[in-house]
Amino acid sequence: MAKAATQSDAATRTSAETSALGFAASLRNKLRGISAHRHLHSPSSPQPHAPLSGRRASPFGCHRPQTLAGSFPRLQGAGRGGPCPSTAAACRPIPWRFERKGRTSAASHWAETKKTHAFLFHPTSCVVRSGDPRLEQAQLFKAPPPDIVGSRAALQQPCKGFRKGRMSSTPVAVVTGSNKGIGLAIVRALCKKFTGDVYLTARDIQRGKEAVAKLQEEGLKPQFHQLDITDLQSIQTLRDFLKEKYGGLNVLVNNAGIAFKVADTTPFAIQAEVTLRTNFFATRDICRELLPLMKPNGRVVNVSSMCGASALSQCSQDLQQKFRSETITEEELVKLMEKFVEDTKKGVHEKEGWPSTAYGVSKTGLTVLSRIQARQLNETRKGDGILLNACCPGWVRTDMAGPRAPKSPDEGAETPVYLALLPPGADGPHGQYVSEKKVQKW
């Protein structure tokens, strides 16, 4: 009896030990990877991964392996030392489950489309980012850990658990305030000329859907998403949707805008506050949320106005100098826009050197903001080929400008669409104010 119990204990122990040993072996494999990583990163060691040479800084502070471009043209990231300092979602590690199941093909695909730096591999090494804290430190494995990466052929196996088509690699364009007027015409033109999905957005879903139906009657196929640019929640919902579905954004046209009619009797201070809230501050909000999503060769168009240029020329010399400065910061610009609103409330805006046009000042601010944003892109996304410009569509027959304007909405859309479709590899215009497809002096 005692002997039987002992045998049973032994059997139990054996099974427990076996599983412990199995775990230890698996851990050893992983730690081997970590020590390989440490060795490879010691100062005396040679360059660890020559095949991944030609790295350059990515906008997110990690590195992009150029030599893999052929296999994974869209793959980003995979720094070779230390965790990626970025907090950008585009650089978040992929879920561990993808790797543990050896479903690396899916992981790679997921990484590629989602622009993460999850998996890079070549015949002898791979770079892994996972949710496992031990492996987070071990980004580079001389030899792929067996339970993570199989043969190259295995890597091509489709992943059963991976929801195919969950993320689209289709290019995507978004036009704000596009249920009517110039915005609708921009969507129409992009549906014809842009190879990818084009999103008509509107703050009012009903108006948006009616506009989509109108374009569908013309045989076009715009997509729709709700967007009120003055509602941060609405902006962030669109941002998360774009990130999830497309892994970023290729074209952003900031077209939404408002203007009080000349005959409107609303007090000027209120007009100033309301107009700047939409045309300047809300457009800035959307840029803050969506610009980090811009993909390489992305295009951003801020629909400004000649009224902004004209308002600038009516400003005091001191203000003009500030608005034309090549070094003005976003914070300084925001303070100036806030000051304008405050000055109108105090009734001192003219004394302080401002013109009496809320719409004009809002567009001066938007053009200056565009110049600043272009500079910021030069600093943070150098080499990504993103082009950002402000433009004037001309005087266009819309609800805003009335029936006497000379241009049709489709004609008004020409310059914004030209800027939205600047060919890949173009190095300009960038950070300019463009009218009739020509760069204007600011």
Ligand X SMILES: NC(=O)c1ccc[n+]([C@@H]2O[C@H](COP(=O)([O-])OP(=O)(O)OC[C@H]3O[C@@H](n4cnc5c(N)ncnc54)[C@H](OP(=O)(O)O)[C@@H]3O)[C@@H](O)[C@H]2O)c1
Active site residues: 359
CB 228, min distance to ligand X, A: 4
CB 395, min distance to ligand X, A: 4
Choice between 229 and 434, CB closer to ligand X = 229
Residues contacting residue 97 through CB under 8 Å, at least 6 positions apart: 131, 161
Classify 436 in phi/psi space as left (phi over 0), alpha (psi -120 to 50) or beta: left
180 closest CA partner among 164, 151, 204, 153:
204
Give the phi and the psi of residue 250 in degrees, each rounded to 5: -100, -40
Amino acid at 46: P
348 closest CA partner among 281, 276, 261, 272:
272
Choice between 164 and 404, CB closer to ligand X = 404
CB 195, min distance to ligand X, A: 25
Beta strands across the sheet bearing 119-122 = 119-122, 125-128, 140-141
Positions touching ligand X (CB under 6 A) are 176-177, 179-183, 202-204, 207, 227-230, 255-258, 278, 282, 303, 305, 392-393, 395-396, 398-401, 405
**Sign of the alpha-carbon dihedral angle for 394, 399, 400, 406:** positive
CB 76, min distance to ligand X, A: 31
Tokens of 386: 């993103």
Q: Which helix (H) or strand (E) holds 239?
A: helix 232-246
Task: Assess contact for 300 and 389: CB atoms under 8 A.
Answer: yes
CB 176, min distance to ligand X, A: 6
Tokens of 380: 């943070």
Task: Assess contact for 197 and 173: CB atoms under 8 A.
Answer: yes
Choice between 29 and 310, CB closer to ligand X = 310
CB 375, min distance to ligand X, A: 22
Tokens of 393: 């569509």
- DSSP state, residue 92: P
Choice between 52 and 282, CB closer to ligand X = 282
Task: Assess contact for 175 and 190: CB atoms under 8 A.
Answer: yes
Choice between 29 and 230, CB closer to ligand X = 230
Task: Assess contact for 170 and 247: CB atoms under 8 A.
Answer: no
Choice between 135 and 401, CB closer to ligand X = 401
Amino acid at 376: Q
CB 313, min distance to ligand X, A: 16
Distance of CA 252 to the CA centre of its chain: 9
Q: CA end-to-end span of the chain, whole Å?
A: 97
Choice between 147 and 273, CB closer to ligand X = 273
